[in-house]
Chain A
Amino acid sequence: MPAEVVVIVFKSTHDVIKAKSELEKACIAHELIPTPKEISSECGMSLRIEKNVLNKVLEIFRAKGVRYRGDLL
């Protein structure tokens, strides 16, 4: 069975690139994808990660000041 995934969405390109760069530094697997059309968000790009690293990712985001749409998580 494939691992469950989570899509994190952002307001601006700046925020999504900052998120991506922080995940790269932390060596956490992630993929930039077009924001799914069911989600109404400001930024056209989102980050897909495996659900089992979500807490770790959010911890990094908080520590590094990465803004994301927590309300849509």
Chain B
Amino acid sequence: MIYFDNAATSFPKPKAVIEAMENYFFHMGGSTGRSGHKMAMEASELVFNTREHLAQLFNIKDSARIVFTKNVTESLNLAINGFLDEGDRVVTTSLEHNSVMRPLRYLEQDRKIKISVVQANQEGMVDPSAFEDILKKEKTKLVIVNHASNVTGALAPVRTISEIAHRYGSHILVDAAQTAGAYPIDVAADSIDMLAFTGHKALLGPQGTGGLYIKEGIKITPLMRGGTGSSSEKEIQPDFMPDMLESGTLNVIGLAGLDAALKYIIEQGVSKIRKEEMELTELFIEEAKKIKGVKLYGPVDIKNRVSVVSFNISGYTPSEIAYILDKDFDIACRPGLHCAPSAHKTIGTFPQGTVRFAFGCFNKAEEIKAGLEALAQISQRSR
């Protein structure tokens, strides 16, 4: 099987991830922050180390400002629900995933928040000046930006947008679902107030892991309240990080895997991973362009992309193409709307969607060539 569905979840994982999870189950097994015995302390150290490695990767000064969640959807819900109050204004883009748009649309009804949407162009690129046009007119509490689109692969100029947001007294929440691990992120240099990420995509960890970084000084109301292992004599939620936003037993086995994945990424270097993934992406785009009937979407300039490519083949629906790729060529990919209807409206592929190839750091050039050959054969088949 050739796996091109890394934007959904990455496969395979580094061997060290599986070994760390196995080691936790066989030899560790304690709960974090709940007891003082050696096994519990080992678990607490493991969780601490995972936070420290994330802090290292994203240049976060105090790792206690990172809270763990089960995925980026939970991270985004925590940030959006916990930060926005009645009547607040939000500016976001037409490229957002439903994990941003659905919580926002719910709060539009529930808390009467106001939502302004910056329209991306047909390549899927957003113009930072469009944010400024809204921010200078309307007092805005939060700007939410998809760092890289899961449909087009287009990167947003986060640093420029965060400068504009802060100039007008707003804050910025970055959805790093497709960039954490695949593209350098520096919360200090990029002036990011909140960073939502998942562990199971380009961070190469297991499913069920994710997190949210919250800059010092930003107050978030918890999504859930409960046991934290701290302040147990009180029936009110602690007010210190990370405990205030981490109720209930953590997914320690998942974090064991994530920590091993982070060590792997730090050792390899995000820049090296990006370079290799973009070489594969460029190879694919340059050759796919030449295949008659194939239409590619997203930015023309490879520098404005991550390794996610959407396309269609004339005469076929996306799901037909994905079905043939799976059945006849053993190639795994994802067709359809990718939970981002507005992104597809932006690039003109709504409601049918696209076929998405998302390359990962374990893909090889031969696999890209096999994918190209499959597309050439499909486009030549008479229907």
Contact = CB atoms under 8 A, between A and B. Distances in A.
Interface of A: 11-15, 17-18, 20-21, 32-34, 40, 42-45, 65, 67
Contact of A42 (B32, B62, B230, B242): B230
Contact of B240 (A20, A21, A42, A45): A42
A45 B30 CA distance: 15
Contacts, number: 60
Given A21-B48, A44-B232, A14 B36 contact: no
Contacts of B242: 12, 14
Given A21-B48, A42-B231, A44-B36, A14 B64 contact: yes
Dominant secondary structure at the A interface: mixed
13 contacts: A11-B240, A11-B243, A13-B32, A13-B230, A14-B48, A14-B241, A14-B243, A15-B64, A17-B45, A40-B233, A43-B229, A44-B232, A65-B61
B70 to A, nearest CB: 19
Contacts of A11: 230-231, 238, 240, 243
A10 to B, nearest CB: 9
Interface of B: 32-33, 35-36, 41, 44-45, 48, 51, 61-64, 229-233, 238, 240-243
Nearest to B240: A11
A70 to B, nearest CB: 14
A32 B40 CA distance: 12
A45 B36 contact: yes
A38 to B, nearest CB: 14
Contacts of B62: 65
A40 to B, nearest CB: 7
B161 to A, nearest CB: 29
A43 to B, nearest CB: 5
B36 A34 contact: yes
Contacts of A44: 35-36, 229-230, 232
A32 B36 contact: yes
A69 to B, nearest CB: 11
Contacts of A65: 61-62
Nearest to A32: B41
